[in-house]
Amino acid sequence: MLNIQNLHATIGDNQILKGLDLKLEAGKVHVIMGPNGAGKSTLSKAIVGHYDVKVNEGTIDYKGQNILELSAEERALEGIFMSFQNPVEVAGVNNAYFLRTALNAKLKHEGKEELNAAEFLRLMREELTKLGMKTDMISRS
């Protein structure tokens, strides 16, 4: 699913990744651990196409496509993006609206029909129930 070969990446003048090879298989849980400065954040930023990181050499293949050829926005539409533990709150935008907008962007990219608010809320309730989560999570901002 994700295959990284000989990845060299810099931030500014600092060479951070020097020939990294990594293969992650679908359906498995993977953890990337290491001390501060080992390159974990640089690797994540290289994968998502963050502007701070310049990839100088190597490939990042996702589902058979070298995603280094894609913009950060195109990668996000393919499902490759960074999600933060404590994201910045956008005043007046609740979780359900934010998630529906993100899902509809992905559906549109895939040539599928977008969900209206009622369809999305029904889907959200189903998915939250499957995960054993409270359905009031939808209405939180």
**Per-residue model confidence as pLDDT tens digits over 4-52:** 999 999 999 999 999 999 999 988 888 999 999 899 999 999 999 999 9
What pLDDT score was predicted for residue 88?
77
Mean predicted confidence (pLDDT) in 117-129: 92
In this model, does residue 131 exceed pLDDT 60? yes
Mean predicted confidence (pLDDT) in 90-119: 89
64 lies in the same domain as 32 = yes
What pLDDT score was predicted for residue 85?
75
pTM of the model: 0.73
Report the distance separating Cα 30 and Cα 47, nearest Å: 15
What pLDDT score was predicted for residue 96?
84
Chain centroid to Cα 31, Å, comes to 15
User: What tokens appear for 67 in the block?
Assistant: 């995603």
52 lies in the same domain as 116 = no
Structural domain contains residue 83 = no
Report the distance separating Cα 44 and Cα 38, nearest Å: 12
Structural domain contains residue 84 = no
Q: Domain span at residue 52?
A: 2-77
Q: Which residues of 41-51 are buried (b: 16+ CB within 10 A; e: fewer)?
A: bbbebbbbbee
Q: Comparing C-alpha atoms, which of 48, 112, 29, 89 is closest to residue 123? A: 112
How many domains are contained in the chain?
A: 2
Q: Which residue carries 């810099």 as its tokens? A: 10
70 lies in the same domain as 104 = no
How distant, in Å, are the alpha carbons of 74, 76, 111, 114, 141 from that of 105?
A: 11, 10, 10, 8, 20
Could you count the other beta carbons within 10 Å of the beta carbon of residue 120? 19
6 lies in the same domain as 60 = yes
